[in-house]
Amino acid sequence: MKILDLTGNGGAPGPAEAVCSRKACRHGAEWQLLWNNPKIHTPERRKIWLACGEHRAWLEDYLQTRGLWKDTVALNPAGRAS
Ligand SMILES: [Zn+2]
């Protein structure tokens, strides 16, 4: 007989913990950078990087330099107003 505990959180990171995608940055994300790599993604596919205010420009520049950047939109964590 198996007993499956479906109620445990298991330590999995919740969606509310949005952290900047910049390497080694632990700041909370304020922006979503939408991008697409036409070499490996279908045209309608959107990958998302999260960026804090400090690294938004750095990450945008990184994507734009490679022709991958599509859009930048503000991140609004559900249920948490800043
Ligand atoms: Zn950052």
5-42 tens-digit pLDDT: 554 444 444 456 799 999 999 999 999 999 999 999 99
C-alpha closest to that of 55 among 23, 15, 18, 16: 23
- 8 in a domain, yes or no? no
What range defines the domain where residue 52 resides? 18-74
Number of structural domains the chain divides into: 1
Q: Residue 79 above 90 pLDDT?
A: no
- 32 in a domain, yes or no? yes
How close is the Cα of 72 to the center of ligand 1, in Å? 15
Q: Residue 60 above 50 pLDDT?
A: yes
- 39 in a domain, yes or no? yes
Q: Residue 64 above 50 pLDDT?
A: yes
Residues, CB within 5 angstroms of ligand 1 (ion): 20, 22, 25, 27, 52, 55
- 5 in a domain, yes or no? no
User: What does the pLDDT read at residue 17?
Assistant: 77
Rounded Cα–Cα distance for residues 20 and 63 (Å): 15
- 4 in a domain, yes or no? no
- 36 in a domain, yes or no? yes
CA 12 to chain CA centroid, Å, is 16
Residues 6+ apart with CB under 8 A from 34: 46, 47, 48, 69, 70, 71, 72, 73
Give the confidence band of 51 by pLDDT, cuts at 50, 70, 90. Answer: very high
